[in-house]
Amino acid sequence: MTKSVEYFFSIGSPWSYIGFDAFAELAAKNEVVITPYLTTVVEENGGIFSRNRPEIRRAYWTRDLKRWARVRGKELRLEHRPDLSDPTPASLFVIAAYLDGQDWIGVARALQHAFWSEAKDIGKSDVREAIVTSAGFDGAALLRRQADDDVQNKWSADRVHARDSGVFGFPTYVFDGEIYWGQDNLPFLERHLHGDKP
């Protein structure tokens, strides 16, 4: 029987990047249909942007990211990053691909890799167009689609849904009414998929 998981994530979240492939593999293995919701940290639910955390916590956060990146086989460039613009607009490419029935996972993967492993400025439309084009997608079409009403409406609705679902940080997975926050919770999600509900 096919199962459905709501997947809340942010292109600008390194944790979303680190856990992305692991979740995609888990979903494929367990015949899970993923419904993606893209947004940013939901501060009204208690989410905190890393830039607003005390330095001691930020230092630990950085060490933990590096540990998990090695576990997941991800290259993560955290130091010596150039000044980059807000990566949030890249979410619109992913939403457009999803709404058009394209490989939104591939689009998200290409953009996240470019931002977190190569420190490319995906906040700039020409940069993200080139990235997804080189990954085998129609970057020009996605660039045109990002301003369309259905894409913009889903972007707005995704944030409301995240807020109303109790989401505050990323990635978050919701299955059968149960919230799993963080890619380190994937083992618990998989157990739930097999009937072990908390």
Q: Which residues of 106-136 are buried (b: 16+ CB within 10 A; e: fewer)?
A: bbbbbbbbbbbeeebbbbebebbbebbbebe
Please report the DSSP string for 62-119 in residue order.
HHHHHHHHHHHT-----SSPPP----TTHHHHHHHHHHTTS-HHHHHHHHHHHHHTS-
Q: Which residues are identified as catalytic?
A: 13
Please report the DSSP string for 9-47 in residue order.
E-TT-HHHHHHHHHHHHHHHHTTEEEEEEE----GGGT-
